[in-house]
Structure 1
């Protein structure tokens, strides 16, 4: 057990820390999303009350990349992180400016402020995502573009993989497609490189044809900052003219055949019974 003196010292230290935390404040302003190639402005604001600043340190994950210590010469020191470009002119004890950001810089960023004479540290972190938009919008592929009611439609929507991965969604006549008809296949390789893909397979119902057409739409989104759609129209397939004519010819042939059979029966009747009628006429004259 702790002695009474140690217990009192422990309680006083807790009270001191609590008072120090209430008097000292820190807040970071880090953009949640930044487009690749743009500039990211990271700000660390702090209030130390009556304490003095000892150091400001910036971390990406567990790796320190920027340090400001007013008691050293020069006061700024940087540590390399692959793909990170710091604008030294614009950066100081409050902000760090990153230029031409790349997708590899996505991650957790933390600002740590240490004060004297206690060397008590304040820290706050936030997550930043670097977005690489797809090189093109989504594309739709189908087996064919004409269907009858009752046919099964198989369609694929693809978009080049980006960072983060785009979310795909299907619509039929502007209505979301049920998950029952959706199959997901992400990050597959093709002749165009890595792509994200979403397939649908559904049966066509006659009411889905609007003036003989069904509208398919695929939507690709990224964090509400990227929004691209593509549409494809399916048409109701009608009987071909050659088939209609063929069916009509079959009907006419059937009629002709039935008439021919009737005429043939009549001829056979006369051939069989005409000679008998002539014999009866000769016999009656005798």
Structure 2
């Protein structure tokens, strides 16, 4: 009697373990995406011995996609504002359900949830969700302007950097020979805005001014590197940067000396030529006078 009771308890315990093992193991929803791109959402799950009944996708609690392998049709779509499913761009099975969205816009931002349910007799349910923001993101590197290709030590440098237009706030930073520029070397940031595609687009402009001297240039004796970095807070993978380099010369008066030396040589050559012409004229005059005398 005790033997059969033990078997029943073991059976119930094992069955309960099976019920509890139905989980969503991972949901892949990007935190931020550009409105010009398509985006792929995926949901992975472990059925743990259960039979899959359905996988449902929701945006802000509104169902827009369903996969039901035991029904026909297998796939169903439901209209939800901001959600545009791409035709034949879905793949679902007993372990993963992947879909693709396109024609994104501001209304596409929201909370996306994957819900997985098992079939009879347990009808267990498990979900996981993630937030996605759709924005107009910068696609071009920041632009550095006003930077020359050659500077002398102790020379004053001025340049500016402009970010690409973005609906998300962009922070610009300057680096001089790998070191972050000092606040005193920067002018207050300027912002240019305009509206497009239902977004308020912003462009940041940052100007830098500094002298080529100090410890930053000890290890860069012949090179001046200026780098501009455009960051979107909370999304480090969206960092964009540009670099410009210039040649540094130690002798600021080298070119002037070369020009002065060239000028002096030219003046000296001119003087020699003038004297030679004068001597030639005197010689011709003497010859002419002697000729007239003998005649």
TM-score (norm 1): 0.56
Selected match of 1:96 from 78, 91, 98: 98
Offset at residue 83 of structure 1 (A): 5.7
Q: Residues 47, 140 of structure 1: CA spacing in aligned structure 2 closer, same or farther, 3 A cutoff? A: closer
Counterpart residue number, 1:109: 112
SS of residue in 2 equivalent to 1:160: coil
Alignment partner of 1:197 is 2:200: no
SS of residue in 1 equivalent to 2:20: helix
Map residues 122-141 of structure 1 onto 2, 5 A cutoff.
Answer: 122-128=126-132, 134-141=138-145
Q: Residues 159, 41 of structure 1: CA spacing in aligned structure 2 closer, same or farther, 3 A cutoff? A: same
SS of residue in 2 equivalent to 1:224: helix
- Aligned equivalents of 1:87 and 1:27: distance in 2? 26
Q: Deviations over 1:199-221 (max 9, x none)?
A: 44545535656668743221335
Question: What RMSD over aligned residues (CA atoms) do the two structures have, in Å?
Answer: 4.7
SS of residue in 1 equivalent to 2:90: coil
Q: Deviations over 1:92-138 (max 9, x none)?
A: 46423214464644554220123344544201123456686535321
Native 8 Å contact 1:140 1:232 kept in 2: no
Native 8 Å contact 1:27 1:45 kept in 2: yes
- Aligned equivalents of 1:127 and 1:232: distance in 2? 41
Number of aligned positions between the proteins: 227
Map residues 48-63 of structure 1 onto 2, 5 A cutoff.
Answer: 48-49=47-48, 51-63=50-62
**Whose Rg is larger?**
1
Selected match of 2:125 from 121, 125, 133: 121
Selected match of 1:216 from 212, 215, 226: 226
- Aligned equivalents of 1:147 and 1:100: distance in 2? 53
TM-score (norm 2): 0.54
- Aligned equivalents of 2:21 and 2:222: distance in 1? 71
Alignment partner of 1:157 is 2:161: yes
Native 8 Å contact 1:38 1:99 kept in 2: no
Q: Deviations over 1:230-274 (max 9, x none)?
A: 326497895796xxx9xxxxxxxxxxxxxxxxxxxxxxxxxxxxx
Q: Residues 213, 120 of structure 1: CA spacing in aligned structure 2 closer, same or farther, 3 A cutoff? A: closer
Q: Deviations over 1:159-198 (max 9, x none)?
A: 11236555533111232224564566475338xx731334
SS of residue in 1 equivalent to 2:141: coil
Offset at residue 25 of structure 1 (A): 2.0
Counterpart residue number, 1:66: 65
Map residues 20-31 of structure 1 onto 2, 5 A cutoff.
Answer: 22-30=20-28
Q: Residues 124, 234 of structure 1: CA spacing in aligned structure 2 closer, same or farther, 3 A cutoff? A: same
- Aligned equivalents of 2:59 and 2:111: distance in 1? 6
SS of residue in 1 equivalent to 2:80: coil
Counterpart residue number, 2:274: none
